[in-house]
A and B are shown apart, each in its own frame.
Chain A
Amino acid sequence: EAQVTQNPRYLITVTGKKLTVTCSQNMNHEYMSWYRQDPGLGLRQIYYSMNVEVTDKGDVPEGYKVSRKEKRNFPLILESPSPNQTSLYFCASSFRGNRNIQYFGAGTRLSVL
């Protein structure tokens, strides 16, 4: 089954404790993105990648890092999480030939205390 898998689905952590949210897709898609969703603000793009070893900042990259060492994986790294990073996070992927069709993971709900 074609899918985007995020882990974990739920995470509660404390300020400053490094964490990684994993994202994996099995569709051989070139494009991958991370978004955060906050009430009343829709989805905001954090980082995106157009291929292996190619990443770029979205609209809200501060406090986040990403890497794209393999085509299927696009982890989101929070080196020193802060309470304002409490949010719902989504990973998405799309095929370069039809980049308008984004497939989303089920989301990771993060709480930073």
Chain B
Amino acid sequence: DAGVIQSPRHEVTEMGQEVTLRCKPISGHDYLFWYRQTMMRGLELLIYFNNNVPIDDSGMPEDRFSAKMPNASFSTLKIQPSEPRDSAVYFCASSPRGTLSSYNEQFFGPGTRLTVL
């Protein structure tokens, strides 16, 4: 039973380059979340999707960041152009369908450690 899959696990790039992070959620989960974790800011929610539709992107730091979910089994987070302050660990998480009577436990992927030089 595969969990959330992320690729690449590590990415080193130079300032100004485009970076694409990928995520495959757990099969059957309707919600997908992108987080960023740094020592200074902790764990931040960037954006989340429900049934492939972006619901809340208020955490996306600026226009250089974009996220897509073209189908239920794949999502990307793109940074263009990248800057050194984007260096962080980016986590993808997924959650099964929620109703007013269920709960919202999220399952995290292994993360992508991004370093922008």
Co-assembled chains A and B? no
B residues with a Cβ closer than 8 A to A are none
Using CB atoms and an 8 Å cutoff, list the residues of chain A in contact with chain B.
none
